[in-house]
C-alpha cells in the first residue's frame, strides 16, 4: 500500500530564529515562499562553516614578445667580404710602407758610400795637387840655389826629399830642403873640411850606421849617392826628433854631434862657432820656405828653368 508520503519525499528544516518560519510539507509538490527562504539561509550557513580560501587574482598576461627579423644570407656574406677587403688593404699598405722604408735605408747607405768615395777622391785629388805644387816649388828652389844642376836632377832631388819625409812623418820636407840648402847648396859632390859628404853633409861614421840600418852596404862613395844620402839624412833627423822636442837641439846635434847639442842647451861658450851660426841660419831658411811654398804660390810663376842664360843649362846625362 502506497501512501502519499511515498510519492513525495519529506524535507526537514532546521529551526530558524526568524519569527514566522515553520516547517511545512507540501502535499502537491509545491513550496511556499518561507521554505525557500529557509533553504537559502541553510545554504548560506553551510558556506560560512567551510574554510575561507582566497584565490589569487589572476593578472592579465602582459608578456611582450620580441620578433627578430633575420636578413637574407647575402648581406652577411657581403659584410664579411668587406671586412676582409679592408684588412687586406691595411696589410698591403703596411707592407708597402715597410718596403719604402727599407728602400730609403738602402738609398741612404748608398748615398753615404758615394759621399765617402767622393770625399776620398777629392782628398786624393787635393793631396796630389798640393803634393805636386810642393814638389815643383822645391824643384824651383833647388834650381835657384844651384844653377849648375839640371832640371831633371833638381826634380829628382826634390822628389827624393818629399818621399823621405813621407816615409818619416816627423821630418818636414821643407826642413830637409833648408838643411840641404845651407849644408851643400844641393851639390851632391860636396865635401866639407870635417869630411861630411853629399847633399846633406853626413859624416862617414854616422853614415855607416845609418846605411846599414837602411839595409845598404857602406862604401866609400855611398854618401855621394843622392838617394842614399837623402834617406840617411831623413832617418837621422827622425831619430833626433824622437830624442829632442826642440828643433834647435835637433839641428845642433845634426851639425856638431851630441856634445855640441849639450853645449847649445847649456848656452856655454864651448859651443862650436859653426853650430852657433848654423842653427839660426837653417831655421831662418825653413821659415822663408814655409811662408812661400805653403801659402799656395803657383810654382810656374817663377819658371827659372826656362831661363836660357842660367848657368849649367845642360842636358842631363
Instruction: Name 197's bridge partners.
Output: 191, 202
Q: Three-state DSSP class for 197?
A: strand
Residue 6 lies in a domain: no
Highest mean pLDDT: which of 28-42, 60-74, 212-226, 296-310?
A: 212-226
- Report yes or no on 190 lying in a domain: yes
Give domain status of residue 316, yes or no.
no
pLDDT band at 90 (very low <50, low <70, confident <90, very high): very high
Domain assignment present for residue 123? The answer is no
Helix (H) or strand (E) holding 147: none
Identify any residues that bridge with 202 across adjacent strands, giving them in sequence order.
197
Check whether 317 has a pLDDT greater than 50.
no
What is the pLDDT at residue 130? 84
Give the model's confidence band at 3: pLDDT under 50 very low, under 70 low, under 90 confident, else very high. Answer: very low
Q: 3-class SS at 191?
A: strand
Task: Report pLDDT digits (tens) over 243-278.
Answer: 998 999 999 999 999 999 999 999 888 999 999 999
Q: What is the pLDDT of residues 200-247, one digit of tens each?
A: 999 999 999 999 999 999 998 999 999 999 999 999 999 999 999 899
> Which of 110-114, 161-165, 205-209 is least confident?
110-114
Task: Give the integer Cα–Cα distance in Å for 297 and 46.
Answer: 149
Q: How many domains does the chain have?
A: 1
- pLDDT score of 22 more than 50: no
As a whole number of angstroms, the distance between CA 72 and CA 7 comes to 81
Q: Give the pLDDT mean for 34-52.
A: 58
Band of pLDDT at residue 135, cut at 50, 70 and 90? very high
Confidence of residue 113 (pLDDT cuts 50, 70, 90): confident
CATH number of the domain bearing residue 143? 1.10.530.10
Q: Quote the CA–CA distance of 128 and 162 in Å, as a whole number.
A: 12
pLDDT at 20: 47
DSSP state of 301: G
Kind and range of the H or E run holding 313: none
According to the model, what pLDDT value does residue 79 have?
Answer: 86
> Which of 101, 172, 169 has the alpha carbon at shortest distance from 134?
172
Which structural domain range is residue 265 located in? 129-301
Residue 290 CA to residue 28 CA, distance in Å, equals 172
pTM of the model: 0.59
- Is 66 within the bounds of a domain? no
**Cα 220 to the chain's mean position, in Å?**
59
pLDDT of residue 5: 45
Please check whether residue 109 lies inside any domain of the structure: no
Which contacts of 37-40 are long-range, i.e. CB under 8 A and separated by 24 or more positions? Answer: 38/13, 38/14, 39/13
Q: What percent of the chain has pLDDT over 70?
A: 68
What is the rounded distance in angstroms from the CA atom of residue 291 to the CA atom of residue 121? 28
Q: Which three cell numbers mark 215?
A: 839595409
Helices within the chain (DSSP H only): 4-7, 33-49, 73-145, 151-167, 173-183, 204-213, 226-243, 247-266, 273-293
Q: Which residue has the cell 824651383?
A: 140
For all residues of the chain together, what is the average pLDDT? 79
Residue at 80 is within a domain: no
| pLDDT for position 187 | 95
pLDDT at 129: 82
The answer to whether 184 and 146 are in contact (CB under 8 A) is no
91-130 exposure pattern, b = at least 16 Cβ within 10 A, e = fewer: eeeeeeeeeeeeeeeeeeeeeeeeeeeeeeeeeeeeeeee
pLDDT in tens, 118-132: 777 666 666 678 888
Within a domain: 174: yes
Give me the residues paired with residue 73 across strands: none
Q: Are 283 and 251 in contact (CB under 8 A)?
A: yes
User: How far is 273 from 19, CA to CA, in rounded Å?
Assistant: 183
Q: How far apart are CA 242 and CA 248, in angstroms?
A: 13
Amino acid at each position: 500500500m502506497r501512501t502519499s508520503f511515498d510519492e513525495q519525499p519529506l524535507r526537514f528544516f532546521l529551526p530558524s530564529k526568524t519569527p514566522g518560519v515553520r516547517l511545512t510539507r507540501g502535499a502537491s509538490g509545491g513550496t511556499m515562499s518561507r521554505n525557500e527562504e529557509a533553504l537559502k539561509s541553510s545554504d548560506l550557513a553551510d558556506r560560512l562553516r567551510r574554510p575561507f580560501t582566497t584565490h589569487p587574482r589572476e593578472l592579465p598576461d602582459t608578456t611582450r614578445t620580441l620578433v627578430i627579423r633575420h636578413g637574407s644570407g647575402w648581406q652577411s656574406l657581403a659584410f664579411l667580404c668587406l671586412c676582409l677587403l679592408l684588412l687586406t688593404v691595411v696589410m698591403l699598405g703596411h707592407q708597402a710602407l715597410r718596403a719604402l722604408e727599407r728602400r730609403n735605408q738602402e738609398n741612404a747607405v748608398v748615398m753615404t758610400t758615394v759621399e765617402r768615395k767622393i770625399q776620398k777622391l777629392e782628398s786624393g785629388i787635393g793631396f796630389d795637387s798640393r803634393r805636386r805644387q810642393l814638389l815643383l816649388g822645391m824643384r824651383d828652389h833647388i834650381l835657384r840655389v844651384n844653377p849648375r844642376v839640371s832640371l831633371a836632377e833638381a826634380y829628382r832631388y826634390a822628389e827624393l826629399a818629399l818621399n823621405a819625409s813621407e816615409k818619416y812623418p816627423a821630418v818636414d820636407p821643407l826642413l830637409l830642403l833648408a838643411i840641404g840648402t845651407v849644408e851643400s847648396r844641393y851639390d851632391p859632390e860636396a865635401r866639407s873640411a870635417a869630411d861630411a859628404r853629399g847633399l846633406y853633409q853626413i859624416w862617414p861614421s854616422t853614415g855607416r850606421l845609418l846605411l846599414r840600418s837602411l839595409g845598404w852596404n857602406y862604401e866609400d862613395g855611398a854618401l855621394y849617392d843622392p838617394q842614399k844620402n837623402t834617406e840617411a839624412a831623413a832617418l837621422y833627423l827622425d831619430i833626433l826628433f824622437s830624442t829632442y822636442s826642440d828643433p834647435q837641439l835637433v839641428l845642433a846635434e845634426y851639425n856638431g854631434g851630441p856634445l855640441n847639442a849639450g853645449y847649445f842647451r847649456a848656452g856655454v861658450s864651448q859651443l862650436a862657432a859653426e853650430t852657433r851660426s848654423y842653427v839660426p841660419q837653417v831655421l831662418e831658411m825653413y821659415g822663408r820656405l814655409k811662408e812661400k811654398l805653403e801659402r799656395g804660390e803657383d810654382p810656374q810663376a817663377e819658371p827659372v828653368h826656362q831661363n836660357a842664360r842660367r848657368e849649367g843649362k845642360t842636358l842631363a846625362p
